Amino acid sequence: MGELTNWAGNVTFSTEVRRPESVPELQELVRDSDRVRVLGTGHSFNRIADTTGTLVSVADLPRVITVEGDSVTVSAGLRYGELTAALQAEGRALHNLGSLPHISVAGACSTGTHGSGDTNGTLASAVSAITFIGADGELVTLTRDDPDFLGSVISLGALGVTVRLTLDTRPAYEISQVVYDGVPVGRLGPDFEEIFASAYSVSAFTDWLDPDVMVWRKLRAGTPYESEWFGGRIADGARHPIKAMPADFATQQGGVPGPWNERLPHFRLEFTPSNGEELQSEYFLPRAVAGQAFEELRTLGKRFEGLLQISEVRTIAADDLWLSPSQGRDTVALHFTWIQDEAAIRPVVEALEAAILPLGARPHWGKVFTTDAATLRECYPKVPEFISLAAKYDPTGKFRNDYLNTYLPSA
């Protein structure tokens, strides 16, 4: 068997993954292990999931999708693409989705994965109940009524092994996706509020060097849209987020209405991503400083040249989850897809952080960053409460690894 790596191939895990096929089997595995970490679909870009102890996957647990009223209960290892297709068949929907439908529900929620939209929270903001296996092997269920709940959903695997989640749903809806080329990058700052409030979900793609930006607007079906918009024009064909790449696997564009689950992601479910020739970083800032951040990035544009494949700008609504990137504030998310050369990008990431951390940026827990541990903890104001919560549910440090010991050390 070859070495096990993450999706990007920049992390080689320290041990083989165990794949229990039932919750009782997983409980026994947790109970009998000194150290345990959970591996989702491997879309993190640092060692957040690694361990020298027992590495487990929940993907082979029995598949659960139970729709009851306005909620759905799912098994943790289920991929979003599988869940959303089942919800759509029941006439139900989630509030938002990430760019890829291939990621697991529990993995995405536990690390703060998000989509876009001024009024749309992170994917984890839809969670109304969570069940995980604690350090003693017993099941723990927390709901929104529990005082520990806000620290338990985006938990980076520090409380236990999640086996089941209950999510809010809403009636199914349709989305029309319209792509614009040629929006001047200089308009992103002055027209930020109008641009990002103009659709259910908006993404702007740029390398911070090109004078033009590509904007993807995901509108509720039936919403009228313009052929020319903020200095740009409707694309003359389908687009990939990286304009030079073929758009075969991108979701339907051109304003064609379709189900929410086939438009909100950027990529189709039938496209199965292999190892990604890329690394990713992401930072979350208060929306009020978006214009300042954009100016800093344009100043850094020449430093990015040859290293940055594409940058994506999105917005996220505030929530109360303790380790959420948008905890306590409406947020603008700045995403960077780099070439796969960590030595080359590290000094550029350092320069990027030097420019935007003073503006209140929070690094993404699961991506490439160079921020030191003390500074990272200061970026997330609820870290002290979370560290105490982790000690409550994991007093012996069973779910800890080098990453958690560095960035979220036990009290």
Distance CA 298, CA 207 (A): 9
What's the average model confidence in pLDDT over 338-356? 97
Distance CA 147, CA 116 (A): 28
Residue 337, H or E segment? strand 331-338
SS3 89: helix
Burial letters 113-143, b for 16+ CB under 10 A, else e: bbbbbbebbbbbbbbbbbbbbbbebeebebe
Distance CA 92, CA 123 (A): 16
pLDDT at 2: 67
pLDDT at 198: 98
Q: Kindly tell me if the per-residue pLDDT of 270 is higher than 90.
A: no
What's the average model confidence in pLDDT over 210-217? 98
Count the Cβ atoms, other than its own, within 10 Å of residue 305. Answer: 12
Give Cα separations from 57 to 73, 253, 337 (angstroms).
19, 35, 26
Read off the pLDDT band of 3 (50, 70, 90).
Answer: confident
Domains and CATH numbers, the chain: 65-172 (3.30.465.10), 175-372 (3.30.70.2520)
Average pLDDT, the chain: 96
What would the pLDDT profile of 128-146 be if each residue is shown by its tens digit? 999 999 999 999 999 999 9
Two structure tokens written together for 214: 């590509």
Count H helices, E strands: the chain?
10, 20
Q: Which of 238-247, 261-270, 273-282 has the lowest mean pLDDT?
A: 273-282
Q: Kindly tell me if the per-residue pLDDT of 313 is higher than 70.
A: yes
pTM of the model: 0.97
- In the block, tokens 């026994």 appear at 28
Please name which of 200, 216, 225, 215 lies closest in space to residue 95, comparing C-alpha atoms: 200
Residues contacting 255, CB < 8 A, separation 6+: 176, 177, 178, 225, 234
Read off the pLDDT band of 273 (50, 70, 90).
Answer: low
- In the block, tokens 């041990």 appear at 15
Q: Kindly tell me if the per-residue pLDDT of 275 is higher than 70.
A: no
Q: Kindly tell me if the per-residue pLDDT of 194 is higher than 70.
A: yes
